[in-house]
Amino acid sequence: MENVEIIIDGVRKVVPKRITILKVAQELKIEIPTLCYHPAIEPYGACRLCTVEIEKNNRKMFVTSCNYPIENEIKIETNNENVIKIRKLILELLIAKVGYKGKVKEIAEKYNVEPRFGVGDDDCILCGLCVNVCKEIIGVNAISFSSRGINRDVSPPFGKEAVDCIGCGACAFLCPIGTIKIEDLNEKRIITKINANLELEKCKICGKYFVPKKFIEYIKNKIGNVELDVFLICDECKGENYIKRLASFSLTGGKNE
Amino acid sequence: MKKLEVDKILEKNGWKKNKIVGILQDIQDVYYYLPEDVLIYISEKLNIPLSQIYSISTFYKAFSLKPKGKYRIKICLGTACHVRGGYIISEFLKNKLKILPGETTKDELFSFETVNCLGACAIGPIVVINEKYYGQMDVEKTEKLINKLK
Ligand code: SF4
Ligand code: FES
Ligand code: FES
């Protein structure tokens, strides 16, 4: 693989061509804040919080580090005054939109950000993590962005119900501001914001409702005729089973009951 | 929904996923909006996630998910028409029809929307009703036109 030499925060470094600035920084334990980045998902460049300053052919410019592939020798400043100014502005705008929530709050506090444009109460920063994990990783495409401009939002088709959702919960897991929540009520799973409503299946051992029927169906379709019983045992029972099994194979000389 | 009609549109576009915007345009030409059941049908036929079709349908201003009226009024609010009074006409219509741009009257007779420059600035302000252009419009003329249609 071809390499390039860069200078990042004053340190000379040889890196493989086309690696992103963010990845290099992370390897060097340089902290760059991100809101819309996840290592398993294609960089989306929505939040702009990972902005850094680069110098290329004697020209300085700001780029988002998560989706900037290093092509040639550049100088990178990840944390200078200008960069911090930009990040603060972005955080001020995010707070004007959604207020102090989740990761936005966390990062805003780190940067000592005052609410210059007010404190909003929207429920989405449009980071796209939920939409993109559903598309790229799960492959279901249950939700998408809708409209544009100030009306842009994340929503299920026709703003109604996420009919294709299998209830895996990856979106809820990734949402940086905690908007998407999973609520299991007996035999039903509701996922807020994306409006999913799913029937749950019981655990084969303890009888507790725990996994969406559609999720099991989806896996069945993906992997074919595999014994699926293991998917029908809840995590707690799996854990208990495992411990019991370990106990019976105990190497400690049979001290267990 | 008339399946045959939709199938014809899909056929014309070669049943191709990447023709989706064109397909939606053709659907909109026939129904004047994008009916939900048609979008679901297309999603199944072309194997495009419904969420993506919904995303496209709400992204472009030219598409509407709400049914349009029998008379579809467009008012140009491009710069030239705006400064010559297009805005006053649109305010007038809001009051007269008691709907906002993008909406349809309860009796399904009228819907109206604002557009940005129709490319005929010289005869602005322009009002378009069902593809027919009316130039040099003002509130009075618009009112007459509407009353005639009622
Ligand atoms: S709902 Fe959450 S994960 Fe989805 S785009 Fe909005 S902030 Fe991001
Ligand atoms: S993390 Fe790079 S733009 Fe959001
Ligand atoms: S501004 Fe109305 S036609 Fe150009």
pLDDT by residue (tens digit) across A163-218? 999 999 999 999 999 999 999 999 999 999 999 999 999 998 899 999 999 999 99
Interface-testing mutation among A130, A140, A141, with chain B (most B C-beta atoms within 10 A): A141
For residues B143 and B113, state if they share a domain: yes
Q: State in Å: Cα A134 to ligand 1 middle.
A: 12
d(CA B2, CA B4): 5
Verify that B90 and B37 share a domain, yes or no: no
For every residue of chain A, DSSP letters joined together read: --EEEEEETTEEEEEETT-BHHHHHHHTT-----SS--TTS-----S-TTEEEEEETTEEEEEEGGG-B--S--EEESSSHHHHHHHHHHHHHHHHHH-S-HHHHHHHHHTT---TT-----S-----HHHHIIIIII-----EEES-GGG-EEESGGGS--TT-----HHHHH-TTS-S-EEEETTEEEETTTTEEEEEEE-TTT--EEEEHHHHHHHHHHH-S---GGGGS-HHHHHHHHHHHHHHT-SSSS---
Q: B52 and B79 share a domain? A: no
Q: Is residue B82 part of a domain?
A: yes
Specify which residues B104 forms β-bridges with.
B111
A124 in contact with ligand 1, CB cutoff 6 A: yes
In a domain, B141, yes or no: yes
Q: Tell me which H or E stretch contains B109.
A: none
Nearest-angstrom CA–CA distance, A238 and A231? 10
Q: Which of A135, A146, A161, A165 would best serve as a mutation to test chain B binding (most B beta carbons within 10 A)?
A: A146
B28 and B77 part of one domain: no
In this predicted structure, the answer to whether residue A58 has a pLDDT above a threshold of 80 is: yes
Domain CATH number, residue B99: 3.40.30.10
Domain end, chosen from B11, B26, B59, is at: B59
How far is the centre of ligand 1, averaged over its atoms, from the C-alpha of A83 (Å)? 25
Q: Are B15 and B50 in a shared domain?
A: yes
Give the chain B residue whose CA is nearest to the CA of A146: B55
Q: What is the predicted pLDDT for the residue at A241?
A: 73
CB contacts under 8 A, A 82-101 vs B, are: none
Q: Is residue B76 part of a domain?
A: yes
Q: What are the tokens at A105?
A: 């709050």
How far does A137 lie from chain B, in Å, by closest CA?
Answer: 15
Sort out which chain B residues have CB atoms less than 8 A from A157's CB and list them: 50-51, 53-54
- Predicted confidence at residue A201, as pLDDT, reads 94
A194 lines ligand 1 (CB under 6 A): no
Q: Which domain holds residue B52?
A: 3-59
B122 and B142 in a common domain: yes
B137 in contact with ligand 3, CB cutoff 6 A: no
Q: Which residues belong to CATH 3.10.20.740 in chain A?
A: 3-79
- Reported ipTM: the value is 0.86
- State the distance from the centre of ligand 3 to the C-alpha of B3, rounded, in angstroms: 38
Instruction: Report the C-alpha gap between B42 and A3 in whole angstroms.
Output: 47
> Residue B64 domain-assigned?
no
Ligand 1 pocket test, pick from A105, A106, A126, A137 with the greatest ligand atom count within 8 Å of Cβ, gives: A126
Hey, are the CB atoms on B51 and A158 less than 8 Å from each other? no
Token pair listed for A2: 């071809």
Residue B51 lies in a domain: yes
Distance, CA of A119 to CA of A115 (rounded, Å): 6
Instruction: Tell me the sheet residues that pair with A200.
Output: A212
User: Checking DSSP bridges between strand B71-76 and strand B127-129, what pairing results, if any?
Assistant: antiparallel
- How many domains, in total, are found in chain B? 2
From residue A204, alpha-carbon distances to A189, A201, A214, A229, B132 in Å are 18, 9, 17, 8, 67
pLDDT number for residue A254: 42
Based on the domain organization, do B95 and B135 belong to the same domain?
Answer: yes
Sign of the four-CA dihedral B124, B127, B132, B134? negative
What are the percentages of helix, strand and coil residues in chain B, rounded to 5? 55, 15, 35
pLDDT tens-digit readout, A143-159? 999 999 999 999 999 99
Output the pTM of the full model: 0.87
pLDDT for B64: 92
Residue B100 lies in a domain: yes
Same domain, B37 and B82: no
Give the integer Cα–Cα distance in Å for B70 and A63. Answer: 50
One domain, residues B76 and B49: no
Per-residue pLDDT of A59-108, as tens digits, reads 999 999 999 999 999 999 999 999 999 999 999 999 999 999 999 999 99
Give the position, in ligand 2's atom list, of the atom nearest the Cα of A47. Answer: 4
Q: Residue B52 falls within a domain, yes or no? A: yes
- B36 with B88, same domain: the answer is no
Q: Residues of A with CB below 8 A from B51's CB?
A: 141-144, 156-157, 162, 164
Structure tokens at A152: 């842009």
Over residues A206-251, the pLDDT tens digits come to: 999 999 999 999 988 888 766 667 788 888 888 877 777 667 665 5
Instruction: State which CATH number among 3.10.20.740, 3.10.290.10, 3.40.50.2300, 3.40.50.740 fits the domain covering A3-79.
Output: 3.10.20.740
Cα gap B61→B39, rounded to integer Å = 17
Q: What average pLDDT score do residues B79-104 get?
A: 94
Is there a domain that residue B120 lies in?
yes
The fraction of chain A above a pLDDT of 70, given in percent, is 93
Question: Do B77 and B54 have their domain in common?
Answer: no
Banded model confidence at residue A1, pLDDT cuts 50, 70, 90: confident
Q: Do A143 and B51 touch (CB under 8 A)?
A: yes
pLDDT 10s digits, B113-138: 999 999 999 998 999 999 899 999 99
